[in-house]
Structure 1
């Protein structure tokens, strides 16, 4: 009899657990990184933390490699409620808040620590992020991608080598202006199309952080990696505002906690992986070079004035002042 009762209780317990699991609300997380990349690893961390801190009430289902949408379309889907979360370069959100283009101004910061301070504590940037819920999405935390550098078919030793070459860019004025100031012709295209475009000769190269170059294997078709580190390019994690407003206050706190912890994970992972990633790509045939940076800095000096003309002197000078103060307080090693 006891065995029968135990079996009944065990079956009931299993049924309750199964029902709880099946009752979890599924939320969709879209990104364009490959399954082996740092974005996927951080997304998995985020999903685990959300499940833990909401006691299983929510399940984050992750769709990597642009399965649901490329970066611009994913942000549009946030606004429409078609997806719940995405993570993309700050400049990708500038289509909906143009002032965020200013975060992609060249050579704002020189180290990860300076970049983290800018994104966590800049009064100007906090104010801009606070405008995003009115656009249909909000920033929960900032993940890491690193500093943008080049991969090209031919060596890139100075801006002179850029003349006449076609460089892929994503839809961001500041990146486009910077590339054109260096000397490139620019071609706008989704990141999911870049590998084939380089392979077919539509463009001769692209620029992205080392983590992205490795994850999307751009070094296979453009084997010259030139570490200019011309733009700091982290990844705000965003949630659809429609989704956010459905959460209870308790669940909002849980999602924020998961977002912050996954951001710490992402920052540590990317910063500490760069050297090994470059080594792996070199072993696979890539050529890594660190050029003299001064000519690149000089070539993009006009970009700041162009930004002032479009976005206003006050706005540009605010973020430049924040960045200058941070560089002074946290000197690069």
Structure 2
């Protein structure tokens, strides 16, 4: 009997020594390479979540499409299969269709304008507010940059695009834009793109400079053309199921971690583009920094008409916000 009492007392002491709540591990899935800016921001986010929640939460980052491509990550986010993802705004459009309009061509001219549009546009905030009903919510907007082209042959104007097969991601507005430029479109997951270009299945692809660099697309499609046709930041999202399980204190902490990582992401990507281009050039890439952008702008005008036919007043509401941003930030 005495032995039983001693065992019970020992067990009670062990329980007292344990933390009141065990650490919860959360999954963060994305498609970027380990050398990419998205992954660096995700690692910082994970560190800050653990710090700001005093260790109550630990974020495990899965890069390189280990758990799925962008559409699959967002689908799993809505179902609660993963806890965080970060992807181009247009990738969320299957769940919030109006976010397709964020991919309209040539909305802003520089990073400062893009940041102001995403942080302050009433239209953009209204679209983000629709997300919780779809199973996830946006915490902060990280950076990827302006989308440009990498092709096997030189590309200076829509005349050079005519009939060329170009890979892009599954987004209606991007498809309309690239087809208006003259390309034939091929949709495929990011990890398959390098080999597809190498084998001649497509003649090139379009992505922000950081993604082009980290995936080494310039090795197989050496003509890097800075069209900057779409501003393509990366909203960070959390599963609504995960969010609702958190205390208000931890919700605040996770949001703060997302904003800290967003600031890092914006500074890193906006300042690293030039270095990435120089590095690519030193390895044989041919950088076309001044294509005939006016010709590309003219070619995509029908996209705005098609968008208005499908999305109505939302198009002009966004264009009004974008115009105000362009006037206030040079």
TM-score (structure 1 length as normaliser)? 0.93
**Aligned positions of 1:244-259 closer than 5 A:** 244-259=243-258
Displacement after TM superposition at 1:155 (Å): 0.5
The separation in 2 between residues aligned to 1:267 and 1:174, in whole angstroms, is 24
| 2:310 aligned partner | 310
* Structure 1 stretches of 4+ moved >3 Å: 19-22
| 2:74 aligned partner | 75
**Aligned positions of 1:24-173 closer than 5 A:** 24-173=23-172
Number of aligned pairs?
A: 316
| 2:293 aligned partner | 293
Pick which of 215-224 and 107-116 moved more.
215-224
The separation in 2 between residues aligned to 1:97 and 1:216, in whole angstroms, is 28
Listed as ranges, the gaps of 5+ residues in structure 1 are 1-11
| 1:3 aligned partner | none
Q: Deviations over 1:197-234 (max 9, x none)?
A: 11111111110000000011111111100001000000
Displacement after TM superposition at 1:35 (Å): 0.7
CA contact (8 A) 1:21 1:56 kept: no
In structure 2, the CA distance between the partners of 1:61 and 1:224, relative to structure 1 (3 Å rule), is: same
The separation in 1 between residues aligned to 2:39 and 2:173, in whole angstroms, is 27
In structure 2, the CA distance between the partners of 1:220 and 1:21, relative to structure 1 (3 Å rule), is: farther
- SS of residue in 2 equivalent to 1:208: strand
In structure 2, the CA distance between the partners of 1:182 and 1:21, relative to structure 1 (3 Å rule), is: farther
The separation in 1 between residues aligned to 2:247 and 2:21, in whole angstroms, is 20
CA contact (8 A) 1:147 1:210 kept: yes
- SS of residue in 2 equivalent to 1:148: strand
Listed as ranges, the gaps of 5+ residues in structure 2 are 1-12
| 1:217 aligned partner | 216
